[in-house]
Amino acid sequence: MKRNIFVSLLLCFSLICSADVSLTSGSLKALKTSGEYAYVEIDWSKAKVVQLDRNNKVEKNLGTIDAYNKSQGSDWVKDWPQVKRFIVNCTAWEKSPGRACFNRKNKKGVRITVNPQIWKAYQNTRDEDERDEMKDHCIWVNPSSAKYKFILTVDQVDMGNGAASAFGMSVSTGGAIISGNIKLIEIKSGKQLATIAVRHCKGCGNYSQRTRLMDVVVGEIFGEIPELMN
């Protein structure tokens, strides 16, 4: 079932338009350095959940993510930590089904590996199938050797709509939409090298919330960063 997720995203990554990401300060030239690694952290703590109309105007404010998940039921509350982990895991993809992920686009430069929390968790996991799945698809380098980190701060998220995805006329119907910013940090010095704005990036529609969120983060946000390096 897990492998079907990777395969099912091929069409999605191939057809969705470029994400609305832009370099607003600093430089990304460090990401062209071969042999170096980075990892990703995602901060959802200040994110507001909304429903957007076709013009990306707010139709409804649904509160914080914690409030939104509680309104959806106990299963949503229980699953959210796993959803967050899954999304961060997938930013380290190397063998993605499409061409959009960062590591496939930036093969000669910095590669994204799993972050320290994920690395630690998988050293002790009893779920060997999940760990092997990660190793098979992702860059699996100890993040203690990473020189850089990306911090994605999510300010606003439309979770998308699974039902709309099933009956939509395009692959993006019902997709999740994220706005926020990314900071590129040199870990040793703590120096901020660049800031990237993320404005209403929309991914593929899917019945699964975690797949909708993963797609917009992996394909439409981080997958577009190499385009800013040219």
Residue-wise DSSP of 140-163: ---GGG-SEEEEEEEEEEE---HH
Residue 10: which pLDDT band, with cuts at 50, 70 and 90?
very low
Return the pLDDT at 118. Answer: 86
Calculate the alpha carbon distances from 228 to 25, 125, 129 in Å: 12, 37, 36
For the cut 80, the answer to whether the pLDDT of residue 172 exceeds it is: no
For the cut 80, the answer to whether the pLDDT of residue 178 exceeds it is: yes
Number of domains in the chain: 1
CA atoms within a 13 Å half-sphere pointing along the CA-CB vector of 220? 30
Return the pLDDT at 50. Answer: 97
For the cut 50, the answer to whether the pLDDT of residue 168 exceeds it is: no
Long-range contacts at 71-75 (CB < 8 A, ≥ 24 apart): none
Domain range for residue 75?
2-228
Cβ atoms of residues 222 and 102 within 8 Å:
yes
Return the pLDDT at 74. Answer: 95
pLDDT digits (tens, 9 = 90+) for 212-222: 999 999 999 99
Return the pLDDT at 164. Answer: 58
Strands 111-112 and 58-64, how do they pair?
unpaired
Q: Which residues contact 51 (CB under 8 A, 6 or more apart)?
A: 58, 59, 60, 62, 158
For the cut 90, the answer to whether the pLDDT of residue 205 exceeds it is: no
The lowest-confidence range among 13-22, 73-82, 195-204 is: 13-22
For residue 137, what is the DSSP state?
H
Closest C-alpha to 195, from 152, 143, 145, 230: 152
pLDDT digits (tens, 9 = 90+) for 118-166: 888 877 766 677 777 777 788 999 999 999 999 999 999 999 886 655 4
- Look up the pTM and report it: 0.87
Calculate the alpha carbon distances from 147 to 29, 43, 66 in Å: 14, 20, 32
CB atoms < 10 A from the CB of 186, how many? 14
Average pLDDT of the residues of the chain: 85
For the cut 60, the answer to whether the pLDDT of residue 15 exceeds it is: no
Cβ atoms of residues 212 and 204 within 8 Å:
yes
CB atoms < 10 A from the CB of 46, how many? 12
